[in-house]
């Protein structure tokens, strides 16, 4: 009996030890969150090294993410283009209006419209406030009336610097009013889109803006008026799914990210690898989703010509 017990405990011990060994082996094989963190630590170190590099870049200079050249911000010029590799940096709404509208012609609508916090989303007001101070904007779009090449139109320009140009109630309302103004005054509408999509802090109120702006665009279209969109980097989510793709003419800047859901989400859903240039303006042009890719410096002339071709009379000649 004693022997049996000894054997038994021996077996138990062996089994438990073996199991322990196996469990450890399995544990080693599975990247636990802790281990992942450990593996990522070198990356973090790299990142902080990057940060150190960034800190070494003197004030007023910027490192081009495309060619890595350190450039004097002044050398990017008004159009924010890398002088070494021609990469297009993102333009804020103010600079864009300056680059597109005839000098001094922009008459801005709804300058002081700002968001409330319809869902009582935590810290939303604080975030809005700090972005307003940082960007000088009340929300992520500027709208107004202007002339381009002497021809009047209503211009809307989204700004990625304000919560990634997310489509909240203010963006939706301002664009809707811009369309309504244009319909009433028989003017074409030009919108520069740039957005990460719907604004999650406003939930369903944000989603509803897609339908609201689209309905206003439809009424403008029913009145026989021209609507042009210029898709800039990045145009994604609910903005792509609504007014960005409703233009009678859809233009884009080169190498612009345009899509609805992100690449990983789509690949995960359809279980297929997507082409490398998927969701670029070049890919979309090839597949008929957009009409033309226009270099940034040519946009004012191209837009002026489009207005001319659609019989928009020069201001003062109508
Ligand atoms: Zn560059």
CA of 181 to the centre of ligand 1 (A): 40
- If asked whether residues 295 and 188 sit together in one domain, one would say yes
Does 267 fall in a domain? yes
The dihedral sign for the CA sequence 293, 265, 267, 35? positive
Would the pTM of this model clear 0.75, i.e. be above it? yes
CA of 294 to the centre of ligand 1 (A): 19
The pLDDT of 283-307, averaged and rounded, is 97
CA of 164 to the centre of ligand 1 (A): 22
CA of 72 to the centre of ligand 1 (A): 12
**H or E element at residue 181:** helix 169-184
8: tokens are 């038994």
Does 169 fall in a domain? yes
CA of 318 to the centre of ligand 1 (A): 44
SS3 state at 254: coil
CA of 305 to the centre of ligand 1 (A): 30
- The pLDDT value recorded for residue 37 is 44
- If asked whether residues 264 and 141 sit together in one domain, one would say yes
Average pLDDT, the chain: 88
CA of 289 to the centre of ligand 1 (A): 28
Question: Is pLDDT above 50 for 46?
Answer: no
What is the domain extent for residue 236?
Answer: 92-309
CA of 259 to the centre of ligand 1 (A): 24
The neighbour count for residue 277, using CB atoms within 10 Å, is 12
188: tokens are 């074409």
- The pLDDT value recorded for residue 315 is 84
- % of the chain residues with pLDDT over 70: 82
Does 71 fall in a domain? no
CA of 255 to the centre of ligand 1 (A): 13
The pLDDT of 298-308, averaged and rounded, is 97
CA of 257 to the centre of ligand 1 (A): 17
Q: In the structure, what pLDDT confidence band is assigned to residue 40 with cuts at 50, 70 and 90?
A: very low
- If asked whether residues 192 and 278 sit together in one domain, one would say yes
Question: Between helices 203-222 and 169-184, what is the axis angle to 10°?
Answer: 10
CA of 282 to the centre of ligand 1 (A): 19
- The pLDDT value recorded for residue 236 is 97
Q: Which residue, 40, 299, 47, is CA-closest to 307?
A: 299
- The pLDDT value recorded for residue 316 is 77
Does 199 fall in a domain? yes
Question: Is pLDDT above 90 for 222?
Answer: yes
The neighbour count for residue 37, using CB atoms within 10 Å, is 11
List the single range of 13-27, 109-123, 148-162 with lowest mean pLDDT.
13-27
CA of 76 to the centre of ligand 1 (A): 10
**H or E element at residue 252:** strand 249-252
User: How many domains would you assign to the chain?
Assistant: 2
What is the Cα 248 distance to its own chain's centre? 22
Does 59 fall in a domain? no
- If asked whether residues 36 and 144 sit together in one domain, one would say no
Residues whose CB falls within 8 Å of the CB of residue 73, separated by 6 or more in sequence, listed in order: 60, 61, 62
- The pLDDT value recorded for residue 143 is 98
- The pLDDT value recorded for residue 167 is 97
Residue-wise pLDDT tens digits, 53-108: 555 888 899 999 999 999 999 999 999 999 999 999 999 999 999 999 999 999 99
308: tokens are 């001319």
Question: Is pLDDT above 80 for 29?
Answer: no
Residue-wise pLDDT tens digits, 234-289: 999 999 999 999 999 999 999 999 999 999 999 999 999 999 999 999 999 999 99
Does 206 fall in a domain? yes
CA of 141 to the centre of ligand 1 (A): 27
């Amino acid at each position: 009996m004693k022997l049996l017990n000894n054997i038994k405990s021996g077996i138990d011990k062996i089994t438990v030890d073996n199991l322990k060994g196996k469990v450890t082996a399995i544990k080693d094989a599975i990247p636990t969150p802790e281990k992942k963190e450990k593996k990522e630590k070198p990356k973090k170190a790299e990142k902080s090294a990057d940060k150190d590099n960034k800190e070494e870049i003197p004030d007023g200079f910027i490192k081009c993410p495309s060619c890595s050249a350190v450039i004097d911000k002044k050398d990017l010029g008004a159009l924010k283009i890398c002088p070494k590799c021609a990469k297009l940096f993102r333009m804020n709404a103010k600079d864009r209006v300056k680059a597109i509208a005839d000098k001094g012609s922009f008459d801005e609508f709804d300058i002081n419209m700002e968001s409330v916090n319809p869902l009582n989303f935590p810290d939303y007001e604080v975030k809005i406030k700090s972005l307003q101070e940082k960007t000088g904007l009340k929300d992520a779009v500027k709208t107004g009336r202007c002339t381009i090449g002497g021809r009047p139109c209503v211009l809307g320009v989204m700004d990625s610097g304000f919560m990634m140009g997310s489509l909240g109630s203010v963006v939706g309302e301002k664009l809707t009013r811009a369309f309504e103004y244009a319909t009433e005054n028989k003017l074409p509408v030009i919108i520069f889109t740039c957005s990460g999509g719907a604004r999650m802090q406003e939930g369903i109120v944000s989603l509803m803006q897609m339908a609201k702006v689209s309905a206003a665009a439809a009424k403008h279209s029913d009145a026989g008026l021209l609507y042009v969109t210029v898709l800039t980097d990045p145009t994604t989510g609910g903005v792509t799914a609504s007014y960005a793709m409703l233009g009678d003419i859809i233009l884009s800047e080169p190498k612009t990210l345009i899509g609805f859901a992100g690449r990983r989400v789509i690949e995960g859903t359809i279980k297929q690898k997507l082409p490398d240039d998927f969701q670029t303006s070049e890919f979309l042009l090839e597949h008929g989703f957009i009409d033309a890719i226009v270099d940034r410096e040519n946009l004012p002339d191209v837009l002026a010509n489009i207005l001319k071709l659609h019989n928009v009379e020069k201001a003062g000649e109508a």
